[in-house]
Structure 1
Amino acid sequence: MIELNRAQPPLPNAKSEFNLPKFEEKFLQNGSRVIFHQKLGLPITTITFIVEAGSKYDPAGGEGLAQLTAALLDEGAGEFDSLALSALLESKGLTLRVFANNDYFEVNISGLSENIDLMLKIVSDVVYDPHFRMEDFERERDKIRNRIQQMKNQPEAMAWELLDKIIQGRPNCYTFTSANEESIEEITLSDVTFFHAEQIEPLKPVFTVVTDLPYNQVETAIHKHFLGKMGAHEPEKPDTGFALKDLRFFILDRKGAPQTEILGGFPTESLRSSREDEAFKLVNNLYGGHFNSRLMRNLREEKGYTYGVGSFLISMKDSSKFIISASVDTVNTGNALLEILKEMNDVRKNISDEELEFSRSQRVRGIPFMFETYDMISSLLRTIVELQLPLDYFENSRQELTRVTMEDAISAANHYLKLENLQFVLVGDREGILKTIPQPLLRGVVEINDRGKVIRRDAGGNL
């Protein structure tokens, strides 16, 4: 029998070093980039086809066109109709995703590496030979119609939809634009085929690949299915400017609602890998970016206003959005808003050494987990493409994180945390909310409808 000495706790193993994976940049015969990483261990491949043809290219009055086009592309392509394509994917254990975000149109496929030839054929067919049948168009459009109606009964979804409309400087410039009740009725199948022909097919794509296979095998398969089809053009450059606005509170009335959904934010410039940018990520972490943040300690642990509150940054190619989110009982709405603003103002002035080091440690220690799986690494490669980052971005970020000083953190907090420009959407009982709003904030309160139109100004609020 083995005797264990339980009086002495076991000592940790020797400290291990984590070296970030190296990403490679390759070029196809037509000049298209391939961001490649070979990850040995499992016979898995994940590939993404990317062109800059996202929702920022939706025409005025046609919001949701990129979204609907993406939904249609895997509804039959090449030799397969929708059901046959679904059956093929299932039989081979493949996962196919087609989507459009604010900036990009992307097709992602994952599966066993032995199927790489089939995987690339499917992506090529979906991108360059979609069927675009009327019955598929009507079905996908009906799905979007239904989602729009369902969203009206989801306070959080309505808050997101309305905040996007409120904080963007002009339509489609830097925030994801989804379909609305008017635009979805205006979009026709001809609009979809035209968007595909003008915004997707002519563009030079970028590929990201994570696989256990050597690059030459990947390149051969890409050339086989894409040469002669890929476009050579660069995308047009839309106006991506934005305008900051004075502090405002927009109420969407939901009579009798027991809670208020609070969503606030403002646009800001895109973050890269500079010292100031990394400093701001640390500041956000301690303000509202993790479970032990100031917002969580204040609103949840001390005041009991909410179960969860947080802040985060949404990065896009040409800009970013800083977001604050919480759900509170109606009677606590005004006090919660005051505490959110108070904590933001305070973090621009006072950060303790302990807070900064805890935030730094959490971020640095979390980096290895970002590289655990093939899909996670694929997501990082897509981030490099989407935000136009250098291949060594993540290593540079780790190094800059270790160099951030207290002066850097305070400077970044004052540069990025634009308290005076916050726009809040409050979805809940209007009368109940107004009773809680402190007098100094009432001048910034207006009421809006489901479409974001102002229907009432309260206490002298002006737009």
Structure 2
Amino acid sequence: MTAVARPVVAPPEPWDFPEGHTHDLPNGLRLITYDVPGQYVLSVRLGLPVSLRDEPREREGVASIMARTLDEGTANHTAEEFARLLERKGVSFGAGMADAGLSIDLDVVKGNLEPALDLLRQILTEPVFPQAEVARQVRTRLAEIEQERSVAAHRAGLEFVRTFYAADDRSSRPTGGTRETVQAIIRDDVAAFHEKHVVAAGVTAVVAGDLEGLDVPDLVESALGGWQKGPTDRPRHLDHAASLAADRGRIVLVSRPGSVQTELVIGAPGPDRSVEGGWAPYPVLGFVLGGSPNARVDAVLREEKGYTYGIRSSFRPRRRGGVFLTSGSVRADSTAESLRLLVEILEGGRAGFSDKEVRSGVDFIAKTAPGRYATADTIADEAVGMALDGRTTAFTTANLRDLATVDRARVDAAYARFADGAGIGTGAPGAGWTIVMAGDASEHLESLRALGLGDITVVQDT
């Protein structure tokens, strides 16, 4: 029997994000197209540089209500008629507001791109915002607010931003507004916000999919070329760096009597993608600390101790600045011990990371990239996300190239830079971290105080 030599497995070749083609329309809209052969459901994405800070203080949440009612009737169609038109043309539509900006998603089969773009034109330029539909969405949002307060993870998240950001900064309040601001919103508020902010200047539109035989730039210009340009010199609040609370380095316990689990959120100021030394080490750090079941946090709290189903850590960049977050739930009877271990693990990053840990993070992020960006929708999402961050997907490719050079020394230096900037590891254990928990204060307060991590503020869950 002849032995067959085993094939040599070579390392993968460097991978580039798909190349896009850019077309600038006279009204200020930038179109980027990605031809992805075989992807016959086309993904159309729009990123509008609208900031939550554009909302009137007394009407916060109006941007979210506007996004939800864009397709609830146009100049020529009622809400029901327009819904039938979307369904008839096989169009999936969605819109949402976030700190990064206003995003609009549309997916449609290739053969219906032209009528789909006309429907998009009507959504963007001719919405009528019927009072009944606005009122319905206001009621829905108010119900969501009550629901969010009843879910421990949401409640802890709300308290975290309230503690972490300065009280006068928009980031300290919910994206979708509070009960007081949302219930005041009427149809005229929504229409006024749309007229002022939903304009073509500065918008990035992306079309990705099998584009063979389609003149996408011509189709887009025919549909959206008449969209009002709007002012190009208005303040761009997306460039605003969120103001942090001066007393953010503290512990807050949201009292939820009888809770069988405790929700934990631990955070600190993090970098944006322009950070000194490059962005590439930071996703690796997030992966190594709490990005997988084999990461440091879960290796101890889940696998060794059995305190949690899973806790995750990640660096979350904004256009300027960012935040590092570790969050998840633990068994109520392990609350104090879990917090002690978490702080110990996170602060232990200053002692460095192993070559094996770094390589596992680099390999996971780099080698899964071709799969992550294999479909038209993920390509379009990445392109719009980069645009709202003031970048192009050239950054995505360059970052993957840089990722290949990341080693233990760079990761250790990146964590030290982050920790120094956040004031972590100085003074008492836990200093510099914003720690928010939602659990039974009567059961855990004394054991938490015994940890010596700092003063604890108890907030009643009202």
Note whether the superposition's TM-score is higher than 0.5.
Answer: yes
Code of the aligned partner of 1:445: I
Where 2:377 maps in the other structure, the secondary structure is: helix
Distance, in Å, in 1 between the alignment partners of 2:5 and 2:357 is 29
Where 1:354 maps in the other structure, the secondary structure is: helix
What is the aligned partner in structure 2 of residue 455 from structure 1?
none
What is the aligned partner in structure 1 of residue 222 from structure 2?
224
Matches within 5 A, 1:34-49: 34-49=31-46
Decide whether aligned partners of structure 1 residues 127 and 179 sit closer, same or farther in structure 2, where only a CA change above 3 A counts.
same
Alignment equivalent of 1:56, drawn from 53, 56, 72 = 53
Comparing 285-294 with 42-51, greater Cα deviation is found at 42-51
What is the aligned partner in structure 2 of residue 191 from structure 1?
189
Where 1:277 maps in the other structure, the secondary structure is: coil
Contact 1:76–1:85 under 8 Å retained in 2: yes
What is the aligned partner in structure 2 of residue 350 from structure 1?
352
Where 2:279 maps in the other structure, the secondary structure is: helix
What is the aligned partner in structure 2 of residue 327 from structure 1?
329
Contact 2:289–2:346 under 8 Å retained in 1: yes
Alignment equivalent of 1:364, drawn from 366, 391, 401 = 366
Counterpart check, 1:305 vs 2:303: no
Where 1:240 maps in the other structure, the secondary structure is: coil
Distance, in Å, in 1 between the alignment partners of 2:394 and 2:48 is 22
Alignment equivalent of 2:280, drawn from 263, 278, 281 = 278
| Per-residue Cα deviation, 1:1-58 (whole angstroms, up to 9, x for no partner) | xxx99x9997577766464222232212334211221111132211122211132322
Comparing 193-202 with 319-328, greater Cα deviation is found at 193-202
Matches within 5 A, 1:163-182: 163-169=160-166, 170-173=168-171, 177-182=175-180
| Per-residue Cα deviation, 1:131-174 (whole angstroms, up to 9, x for no partner) | 11111111111101111111222111111222122212342258
Distance, in Å, in 1 between the alignment partners of 2:284 and 2:321 is 19
Number of residue pairs the alignment of both structures matches: 447
Contact 1:54–1:103 under 8 Å retained in 2: yes
Distance, in Å, in 1 between the alignment partners of 2:24 and 2:212 is 15
What is the aligned partner in structure 2 of residue 410 from structure 1?
412
**Offset of 1:246 from its aligned partner?**
4.8
Comparing 20-29 with 177-186, greater Cα deviation is found at 20-29
What is the aligned partner in structure 1 of residue 211 from structure 2?
213
Comparing 25-34 with 357-366, greater Cα deviation is found at 25-34
What is the aligned partner in structure 1 of residue 148 from structure 2?
151
Comparing 11-20 with 289-298, greater Cα deviation is found at 11-20
Counterpart check, 1:263 vs 2:265: yes
What is the aligned partner in structure 2 of residue 435 from structure 1?
446
Matches within 5 A, 1:70-109: 70-109=67-106
Code of the aligned partner of 1:441: G
Decide whether aligned partners of structure 1 residues 203 and 15 sit closer, same or farther in structure 2, where only a CA change above 3 A counts.
closer
Distance, in Å, in 1 between the alignment partners of 2:119 and 2:315 is 34
| Per-residue Cα deviation, 1:250-303 (whole angstroms, up to 9, x for no partner) | 111111111111112233331248743211221221111122100010111112
**Offset of 1:429 from its aligned partner?**
0.7
TM-score normalized by structure 2?
A: 0.90
Distance, in Å, in 2 between the alignment partners of 1:185 and 1:267 is 32
**Offset of 1:116 from its aligned partner?**
1.1
Code of the aligned partner of 1:362: F
Contact 1:174–1:319 under 8 Å retained in 2: no
RMSD over aligned Cα atoms: 2.5
Code of the aligned partner of 1:385: A
Contact 2:208–2:376 under 8 Å retained in 1: yes
Code of the aligned partner of 2:458: E
Decide whether aligned partners of structure 1 residues 9 and 58 sit closer, same or farther in structure 2, where only a CA change above 3 A counts.
farther
**Offset of 1:69 from its aligned partner?**
0.9
Distance, in Å, in 1 between the alignment partners of 2:243 and 2:251 is 19
Identity of aligned residues (%): 20
| Per-residue Cα deviation, 1:199-222 (whole angstroms, up to 9, x for no partner) | 223744221111322597111111
Distance, in Å, in 2 between the alignment partners of 1:285 and 1:182 is 39
Contact 1:141–1:184 under 8 Å retained in 2: yes
Where 2:26 maps in the other structure, the secondary structure is: coil
Code of the aligned partner of 1:128: T
Name stretches of at least 5 consecutive residues in structure 1 with no aligned partner: 452-463
**Offset of 1:176 from its aligned partner?**
5.9
Decide whether aligned partners of structure 1 residues 203 and 450 sit closer, same or farther in structure 2, where only a CA change above 3 A counts.
farther
Comparing 125-134 with 266-275, greater Cα deviation is found at 266-275
Where 1:333 maps in the other structure, the secondary structure is: helix
Decide whether aligned partners of structure 1 residues 81 and 271 sit closer, same or farther in structure 2, where only a CA change above 3 A counts.
same
What is the aligned partner in structure 1 of residue 427 from structure 2?
none
Comparing 29-38 with 220-229, greater Cα deviation is found at 29-38
Where 1:408 maps in the other structure, the secondary structure is: helix
**Offset of 1:109 from its aligned partner?**
0.6
Comparing 354-363 with 436-445, greater Cα deviation is found at 436-445
What is the aligned partner in structure 1 of residue 456 from structure 2?
445
| Per-residue Cα deviation, 1:341-395 (whole angstroms, up to 9, x for no partner) | 1111111222111111111111111111121211111111112111122331122
**Offset of 1:175 from its aligned partner?**
7.7
What is the aligned partner in structure 2 of residue 386 from structure 1?
388
Where 1:437 maps in the other structure, the secondary structure is: helix
Distance, in Å, in 2 between the alignment partners of 1:67 and 1:266 is 27
Decide whether aligned partners of structure 1 residues 151 and 391 sit closer, same or farther in structure 2, where only a CA change above 3 A counts.
closer
What is the aligned partner in structure 2 of residue 460 from structure 1?
none
Contact 1:331–1:436 under 8 Å retained in 2: no
Contact 1:46–1:109 under 8 Å retained in 2: yes
Code of the aligned partner of 1:240: A
| Per-residue Cα deviation, 1:413-432 (whole angstroms, up to 9, x for no partner) | 01224333221221111111
Decide whether aligned partners of structure 1 residues 73 and 390 sit closer, same or farther in structure 2, where only a CA change above 3 A counts.
closer
Name stretches of at least 5 consecutive residues in structure 2 with no aligned partner: 425-430
Contact 1:96–1:108 under 8 Å retained in 2: yes
TM-score normalized by structure 1?
A: 0.89
